Structure 1
Amino acid sequence: MARVLKIEINGRPADVQDVHRVATWNYGHFTSMQVREGAVRGLDLHLQRLNRASQALFGEGATDDGDRIREFIRHALGEQRAASVRVTVVPQVGAPPLTDVMVSVSEPVSDAPQPALRVRTTTYERELPHLKHVATMGLTYHWLQAREAGFDDVLFVGRDGVLREGSVWNVAFWHEQQVVWPEAAVLPGITMQLLQTALTRIGVPWSSRRLTLDDLPTLRAAAATNSHCPSQPLAGIDETVFPGDGGALPDALNTAWAEVPWDLV
């Protein structure tokens, strides 16, 4: 885990009461991003995510002004030009829909993929899956169970048998010379959205469709995508081992990712 360098709330240093409240009141939402040279890929999508989630969790009167949050991020970064940044929005004590914005700045995380991961599936559906909320006990429990069983990570399957999302990532597959994403109730990851737009731009076909465990043997490769890495290869899921297809999937994802522009904070 990257070392935390600074935590601010509403543009000021967080004190012990702030940290205690956020740690013990499990209600809020967040977004995580990688900053390089003071810029972020998909910054507008991160800000839109925060605004939509605030309205969903705190009511229509709650909005997260993009300019205000950008200023909080800039202030927390200070002279730090490369970092991992998490923006967490929580309700003000006794004053919803007013919110507090906590910005955590950590050391930057490499976007280079790890060795291909072995993943197992489990039946689990996140609450409010379209939101990146702080209620993460369920997904963390299943991730730890997978690790204890000798796997690297976990992929969630709905009670309907449809493949959904990984613990903290979206999953992409390679099938018949195109990228395929599961069509299900999942978090629309910022990296996934940026990749889909970029894949279209570079002429690589992609689609979303309903996928089940029975489909896994027909797929040629799989990768996890999130803010840390756009193309983390998966060696296998449960008993299915992917042949890899010569790196076609990571090549497509990495080529698309290189086309995504950086936005100054």
Structure 2
Amino acid sequence: MPMAFLNGEPATADDLRALALGNYGHFTSMQVRGGAVQGLDLHLRRLRAATRELFGTELDTVDVQRQAHAALQRAGLSDASLRLTVFSRQFDYRDAGRDVATDLLVSLSPAATQAKPALRVKSYDFVRPLPHIKHVGTFQLFHYRRRALADGFDDALFVGPDGAMVEGSIWNLGLWDGERVVWPDGPALRGVCEQLLQAGLEASGVPQQVRRVALGEAGDFPAAFACNASGIQPVTAIDGVALDADTALMARLQVALDRQPWQPLA
């Protein structure tokens, strides 16, 4: 591990080179447990919409599930981190307007551990291009994350031109005001874990609000958290503002996430 399969067959160096050099495509990442995924329908909906927008073609999501399940079987795994990347070896930037058939790269790596450390994050003025698409253009995300580490923090938090918090480098931000979870509104990728948490919190009767949240409001919240495909973790600082590592809140969030069903890949 990691392992990669392209269109159902083990990926070659040439296959991976085509993706690396073209750098045009999109993906989704998920955790597999016992051959099942939480929010599988949301992941497939994301892939289908992005394929239509980037390539002008329809994605066969039944085949996507089949290939993902087959890759796990060939690797002898039931638990794993799974990434599905849609790109096209036929794509030519010199004729970028041409609709092309797509390829599917299934990548497997070890399953994420449930225990995740707290994050201290530093803010940067940045909004991802095409933020609604989980595209392979991740240069800026990792660049700002590297800058945050160099500045003594754990990760980067992005702030829009209006001064509002929008998202983290590879995660969504949730804020706790003592009574409700507040989700920052703005140009960001709406993650699957975020959507699962929202559904679970609603079912649990926990109040929620989606609104613009200025960076200057960070001190108004006693606690915050980050969420993505690998799970949930507390955010204990935003720039110079210290926040609580609220264990009761984290347990409540985990219960809400655990309410969401696991959907089999098969």
Give the Cα–Cα distance (whole angstroms) in 2 for the partners of residues 138 and 159 of structure 1.
16
- Counterpart of 1:70 in structure 2 is 65
Give the Cα–Cα distance (whole angstroms) in 1 for the partners of residues 141 and 39 of structure 2.
25
SS at match of 1:64: coil
Let me know the Cα RMSD of the aligned residues.
1.2
Q: Which of 116, 139, 142 matches 1:140?
A: 142
Q: Retained in 2: the 8 A contact 1:171–1:225?
A: yes
Give the Cα–Cα distance (whole angstroms) in 1 for the partners of residues 233 and 183 of structure 2.
15
- Counterpart of 1:119 in structure 2 is 121
CA positional deviation for 1:75:
1.1
Specify every segment of 5 or more residues in structure 2 that has no aligned partner in the other structure, as ranges.
Answer: 92-97
- Counterpart of 1:259 in structure 2 is 259
Give the Cα–Cα distance (whole angstroms) in 1 for the partners of residues 44 and 247 of structure 2.
33
Give the Cα–Cα distance (whole angstroms) in 1 for the partners of residues 102 and 258 of structure 2.
35
CA positional deviation for 1:247:
2.9
Give the Cα–Cα distance (whole angstroms) in 2 for the partners of residues 207 and 65 of structure 1.
35
- Counterpart of 1:249 in structure 2 is 249
TM-score by length of 1: 0.94
Q: Retained in 2: the 8 A contact 1:179–1:249?
A: no
SS at match of 2:129: coil
CA positional deviation for 1:141:
0.6
Q: Which of 1, 14, 18 matches 1:17?
A: 14
Q: Which of 181, 204, 207 matches 1:205?
A: 207
CA positional deviation for 1:16:
1.4
Give the Cα–Cα distance (whole angstroms) in 2 for the partners of residues 111 and 212 of structure 1.
30
Structure 2 counterpart of 1:69, one-letter code: V
- Counterpart of 1:240 in structure 2 is 241
Is residue 191 from structure 1 mapped to residue 188 from structure 2 by the alignment?
no
SS at match of 2:249: helix
Q: Retained in 2: the 8 A contact 1:87–1:102?
A: yes
CA positional deviation for 1:243:
3.1
- Describe the superposition over 1:170-217 as per-residue Cα deviations: whole angstroms up to 9, x where unpaired: 000101411111011110100000110111011111111100111111
Q: Retained in 2: the 8 A contact 1:173–1:249?
A: no
Q: Retained in 2: the 8 A contact 1:88–1:102?
A: yes
CA positional deviation for 1:248:
3.9
- Describe the superposition over 1:59-97 as per-residue Cα deviations: whole angstroms up to 9, x where unpaired: 2xx111111000110111113100000000002315743
- Counterpart of 1:224 in structure 2 is 226
Give the Cα–Cα distance (whole angstroms) in 2 for the partners of residues 40 and 127 of structure 1.
28
Q: Retained in 1: the 8 A contact 2:200–2:256?
A: yes
CA positional deviation for 1:220:
1.1
Superposition pairs of residues 83-98 of structure 1, within 5 angstroms: 83-94=80-91, 96-98=99-101
Which region of structure 1 is more displaced relative to structure 2, 95-104 or 206-215?
A: 95-104
CA positional deviation for 1:28:
0.2
CA positional deviation for 1:259:
0.4
Give the Cα–Cα distance (whole angstroms) in 2 for the partners of residues 128 and 249 of structure 1.
32
4+ residue stretches of structure 1 with deviation over 3 A?
none
TM-score by length of 2: 0.94
SS at match of 1:173: strand
Structure 2 counterpart of 1:101, one-letter code: L
Percent identity at matched positions?
42
CA positional deviation for 1:32:
0.3
